[in-house]
């Protein structure tokens, strides 16, 4: 039967739903059949996941053979692992119900020292190619091989940087080459075997890692929080990568409507000359999407047209990831956008008026959306800092600087506000126990912002903060606070106050 197949192309007419293709795979399939600009790829179905788990977490020959055939179908002018014109792919999770950032993704699979040569020619820069390669080694080593990320960040600290993101803007080509060599030596030291250079070995290990992330603590916690079943398993999506690197290129995330207040206007952010994971990670503060009307007006209009088209066909507000590669727009994925309660109320009312949702859907959704009475509070506290208002609400709490501290504070009855440079899926247990979130990095589509809106807790991102984790302090200008001090955050205005209300 079709639904029991292991591998299904994005462009194949199937009629299958998210229980087989996963939410991401189903929507990639639908967009491909709508002739939207989706990079080619294929979905490894949930049936394959159960085959994998039923056989002791192994990809049996039949399943692996289908995956290899899927890769071969993507090899047109590019070849997987080729040194002249390499095909570079991503391996992404695809649960039946969207679980933003809770499961693993591995980008840039297929890179090694040989394919790096051809990849550098394709993107027109050896320096940028080295930057992508070091990111791949870091991500593969920590996510797939399970090595301690601190060992790799210690390498970066020798070069005066904290994160593997955006190194091409900070370091020289020679320094990036040194980091690559240091990473490779570190992998062999920590794992007692060399970093895998065979692209198919990289792919096999990546698929297993994504399958295994279904039962990770953060994914399990997320499902418990949203009352989702554990039994469905996950699909995996293999997709040809496109790169927002160089001039006339960028990557970003947009919502077809404002996820904070529900306004019927494109809302989102982008970064030039980078990969999409940097936007979502929150390590950088990106540009508002409105600037794209000046820098790439044709691309903005194409995005606007696609946004409208997807709402008309999917009947819901969408969150869309996109990449512009040398003036060419690519849609990497779409999904139902996380939104605040206030936004959910306005969006369902507007979509009903626009004829996008039926009476039954409108009435059911209105019953499901709690409606809060808006209150205005006079805040007579000194302003400590200001950032981007990522999730509305007003809350006071004591400063905590790591997720475990947030959990311990909640156990002792304290109200904690989690203050971080940025958050990642591993921080979810602590985020759940926090009254509010405050980050020094990131934009309105970052992990911190999206999770806060889904949890309906106040959040501010991209704030003017200097966090010293060793000293346990948070500074803004001449002001300095410490762990346990009270602050108040207003997720509607983006203002951070000293003290509590």
Return per-residue pLDDT of the chain as tens, 501 residues: 566 689 999 999 888 788 999 999 999 999 999 999 999 999 999 999 999 999 999 999 999 999 999 999 999 889 999 999 999 999 999 999 888 778 889 999 999 999 999 999 998 899 999 999 999 999 999 999 999 988 999 998 888 887 777 787 888 999 999 999 999 999 999 999 999 999 999 999 999 999 999 999 888 988 988 889 999 999 999 999 999 887 889 999 999 999 989 999 999 999 988 876 777 666 667 889 999 999 999 999 999 999 999 999 999 999 999 999 999 999 999 999 988 888 988 999 999 999 998 888 777 766 555 554 444 567 889 999 999 999 989 999 999 999 999 999 999 888 999 999 888 877 888 998 999 999 998 888 888 888 888 888 999 999 999 999 989 999 999 999 999 999 999 998 999 999 998
3 state DSSP class of 20: helix
Q: What is the CA radius of gyration of the chain?
A: 23
265 within 8 A of 424, measured Cβ to Cβ: no
d(CA 212, CA 56): 11
Model pLDDT for residues 4-17, shown as the tens digit of each residue: 689 999 999 888 78
**pTM of the model as a whole:** 0.85
Which long-range CB contacts under 8 A does 76-83 form with residues at least 24 apart?
Answer: 78/240, 80/110, 80/199, 80/200, 81/110, 81/112, 81/114, 81/115, 81/198, 81/199, 81/200, 82/115, 82/118, 83/114, 83/115, 83/117, 83/118
Q: Are 464 and 388 in contact, with CB atoms under 8 Å apart?
A: no
Are 103 and 243 spatial neighbours (Cβ–Cβ below 8 Å)? no
Report the alpha-carbon distance of residue 185 to residue 263 in Å, rounded: 51
3 φ/ψ sector (left φ>0, alpha ψ -120 to 50, else beta): alpha
Query: How far, in Å, CA of 195 to CA of 188, rounded?
Result: 7
The structure tokens listed for 293 are: 């009307």
Q: SS3 of 485, please?
A: coil
Predicted local confidence at residue 300, as pLDDT: 97
Domains (ranges, CATH) in the chain? 2-240 (3.30.1490.20), 244-374 (3.30.470.20), 383-498 (3.50.30.10)
> How many CB atoms are located within 10 Å of the residue 225 CB?
14
- Would you state the structure tokens that stand for residue 375, as one six-digit string? 């209150």
């Amino acid at each position: 039967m079709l639904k029991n197949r292991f591998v299904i192309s994005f462009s194949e007419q199937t009629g299958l739903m998210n229980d087989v293709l996963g939410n991401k795979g189903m929507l990639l399939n639908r967009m491909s059949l709508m002739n939207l600009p989706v990079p080619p790829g294929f979905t490894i179905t949930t049936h394959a996941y159960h085959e994998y788990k039923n056989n002791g977490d192994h990809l049996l020959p039949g399943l692996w053979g289908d995956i290899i055939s899927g890769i071969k179908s993507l090899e047109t002018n590019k070849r997987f692992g080729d040194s002249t014109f390499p095909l570079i792919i991503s391996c992404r999770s695809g649960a039946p119900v969207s679980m933003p950032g809770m499961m693993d993704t591995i980008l840039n699979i297929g890179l090694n020292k040989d394919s790096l040569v051809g990849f550098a020619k394709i993107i027109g820069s050896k320096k940028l190619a080295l930057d992508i390669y070091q990111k791949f080694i870091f991500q593969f080593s920590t996510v797939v091989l399970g090595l301690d990320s601190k060992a790799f960040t210690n390498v970066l600290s020798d070069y005066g940087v904290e994160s593997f993101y955006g190194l091409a803007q900070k370091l020289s080509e020679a320094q990036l080459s040194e980091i690559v060599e240091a990473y490779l030596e570190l992998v062999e030291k920590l794992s007692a075997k060399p970093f895998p250079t065979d692209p198919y070995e990289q792919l096999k290990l990546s698929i297993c890692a994504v399958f295994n992330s279904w039962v990770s603590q953060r994914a399990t916690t997320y499902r418990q929080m949203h009352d989702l079943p554990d039994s469905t398993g996950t699909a995996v999506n293999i997709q040809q990568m496109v790169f927002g690197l160089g001039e006339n290129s960028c990557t970003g995330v947009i919502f077809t409507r404002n996820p904070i207040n529900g306004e019927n206007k494109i809302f989102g952010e982008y970064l030039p000359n980078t990969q999409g994971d940097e936007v979502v990670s929150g390590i950088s503060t990106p540009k508002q999407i409105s600037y794209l009307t000046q820098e790439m007006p044709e691309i903005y209009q194409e995005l606007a047209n696609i946004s409208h088209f997807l709402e008309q066909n999917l009947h819901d507000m969408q969150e869309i990831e996109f990449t512009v590669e040398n003036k060419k727009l690519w849609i990497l994925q779409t999904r139902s956008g996380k939104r605040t309660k206030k936004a959910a109320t306005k969006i369902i009312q507007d979509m009903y008026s626009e004829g996008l949702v039926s009476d039954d859907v409108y009435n059911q959704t209105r019953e499901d959306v709690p409606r809060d009475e808006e209150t205005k509070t006079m805040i007579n506290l000194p302003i400590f800092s200001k950032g981007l208002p990522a999730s509305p609400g007003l809350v006071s709490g004591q400063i905590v600087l790591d997720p475990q501290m947030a959990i311990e504070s909640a156990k002792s009855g304290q109200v904690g506000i989690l203050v971080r440079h940025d958050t990642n899926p591993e921080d979810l247990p602590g985020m759940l126990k926090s009254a509010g979130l405050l980050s020094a990095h990131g934009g309105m589509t970052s992990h911190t912002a999206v999770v806060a809106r889904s949890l309906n807790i106040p959040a501010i991102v991209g704030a003017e903060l200097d966090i010293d984790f060793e000293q346990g302090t948070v500074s803004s200008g001449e002001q300095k606070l410490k762990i346990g001090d009270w602050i108040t955050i207003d997720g509607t205005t983006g203002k951070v106050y000293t003290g509590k209300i």
